[in-house]
Amino acid sequence: MENSGKYRRILVTSALTYANGDTHLGHIAGSILPADMYVRYCRLAGYDVIYVCGSDEYGTAIEMSAIKEGISPKEIVDKYHFANKKAYEQLGMSFDIYSRTSTETHKKTAQDFFTNLYNKDLLYQKTEKQLYSEKEKRFLADRFVIGTCPVCGFEEARGDECENCGSALSPLELKYPRSTITGDTPVVKESTHFYFPLSKFQPKLEEWINSKKDWKPNVVNYCKGWFKTGLQDRAITRDLDWGVPLPMDGFDGKVIYVWFEAPMGYISITKELFAAKGNEDKYKDYWCSDDTKLVHFLGKDNIIFHAIFFPAMIMAHGNLVLAENVPANEFMNLEGSKQSKSKGHAIYVKDVVDKYNPDSLRYAIASNMPENKDTDFYWKDLQAKNNNELGAILGNFVNRTFVFAGKYFDGAVPEAGAYAEIDINIINSIKSYTSSIASYYENYKFKDALSETMNLVRDANKYFNDTEPWKVVKEDTARCGTIINVCLQLCNTFAILFNPVLPFTSEKLLRMLNMPVENLSWANAEKLLLPAGHKLNPPEILFRKIEDSEIEQ
Partner RNA sequence: GCCGGAGUAGCUCAGGUGGUUAGAGCGUCGGAAUCAUAAUCCGCAGGUCGGGGGUUCAAGUCCCUCCUCCGGUACCA
Q: Is 126 a residue that touches RNA (CB under 7 A)?
A: no
# residues near RNA by CB under 7 A:
91
Distance CA(526)–CA(497), nearest Å, equals 10
Q: Is 241 a residue that touches RNA (CB under 7 A)?
A: no
Question: 525 vs 106, 428, 436, 493, 496, CA distance in Å?
Answer: 40, 12, 12, 5, 6
CB 166 within 8 A of CB 112: no
Write down the least CB distance from residue 46 to RNA, Å. Answer: 29
Q: Is 136 a residue that touches RNA (CB under 7 A)?
A: no
Nearer to RNA, 119 or 342 (CB): 342
Write down the least CB distance from residue 97 to RNA, Å. Answer: 19
551 C-beta neighbours (distance < 10 Å), count: 17
Q: Is 189 a residue that touches RNA (CB under 7 A)?
A: no
Distance CA(416)–CA(82), nearest Å, equals 51
Residues 141-160 that bind RNA (CB under 7 A): 141-143, 159-160
Q: Is 257 a residue that touches RNA (CB under 7 A)?
A: yes
Strand partners, 98: 53
What does DSSP assign to residue 29?
I
CB 271 within 8 A of CB 283: yes
Nearer to RNA, 172 or 275 (CB): 172
Residues 356-375 that bind RNA (CB under 7 A): 368, 370-375
Q: Is 341 a residue that touches RNA (CB under 7 A)?
A: no
Nearer to RNA, 3 or 506 (CB): 506
Question: 325 vs 42, 356, 385, CA distance in Å?
Answer: 15, 33, 31
Per CB under 7 A, the segment of 46-54, 133-141, 288-296, 317-325 that binds RNA is 133-141
Residues 476-535 that bind RNA (CB under 7 A): none
Nearest of 22, 55, 62 to residue 243 by alpha carbon: 62
Distance CA(550)–CA(157), nearest Å, equals 43
Write down the least CB distance from residue 4 to RNA, Å. Answer: 25
Q: Is 218 a residue that touches RNA (CB under 7 A)?
A: yes
Per CB under 7 A, the segment of 22-30, 191-199, 342-350, 524-532 that binds RNA is 191-199
Residues 420-459 that bind RNA (CB under 7 A): 447, 451, 458
What does DSSP assign to residue 395?
I
Contact residue for RNA among 151, 181, 235, 472 (CB under 7 A): 235
Write down the least CB distance from residue 411 to RNA, Å. Answer: 14
Binding mask 47-86 for RNA (x = CB under 7 A): ---------x--xxx-------------------------
3-state secondary structure 189-229: EEEEEEEECHHHHHHHHHHHHHCCCCCCHHHHHHHHHHHHH
Write down the least CB distance from residue 284 to RNA, Å. Answer: 25
Q: Is 134 a residue that touches RNA (CB under 7 A)?
A: no
Q: Is 230 a residue that touches RNA (CB under 7 A)?
A: yes
CB 533 within 8 A of CB 412: yes
Strand partners, 130: 189
Contact residue for RNA among 3, 99, 268, 302 (CB under 7 A): 302
